[in-house]
Amino acid sequence: MNFITDLLLSLSGLIRPHLTFISSALVATLLVIYGNDVNRAVWTLIRRAHFIVRTLVFILLCAIGYGLIAVYLVPVISNLLLMAGSVWLGIVVVVVFVLVGWLAERHSRRG
């Protein structure tokens, strides 16, 4: 049992210094997976608006909306991952990446 705990602690120790980059990768991947769905939903809401309004809305959505999501969600994801604790952090990160990969695969088959 001690060997497994040491192994998990080592994995978590390798991952911890890169947690900000890992969180950024997770947020960016989720934005790529679901961004088109968000864009489509916004387009449905504003499709009858004037060209200038549609353009401004999409500039705000893409430049400011997605940017703010990325900036503010990365620390939240980092903190959520840290809640796993020193022993389980590595396993949780691996499982989350597998889950995101599964979501991407499922989403790509859908449409």
Burial bucket for residue 32 (CB in 10 Å: 0-12, 13-18, 19+)? exposed
* Rounded mean pLDDT, 76-92: 96
User: Which pLDDT tens digit goes with each residue over 23-41?
Assistant: 999 999 999 999 999 999 9
Residue 1 has pLDDT above 80, yes or no: no
Both tokens of 30, joined, read 């989720």
Q: Average pLDDT over the chain, rounded to whole?
A: 94
* Per-residue pLDDT band at 110 (split at 50, 70, 90): confident
Looking at residue 17, its pLDDT comes to: 96
pTM of the model: 0.87
Q: Within 2-84, where are the H helices?
A: 2-15, 19-46, 51-59, 66-82
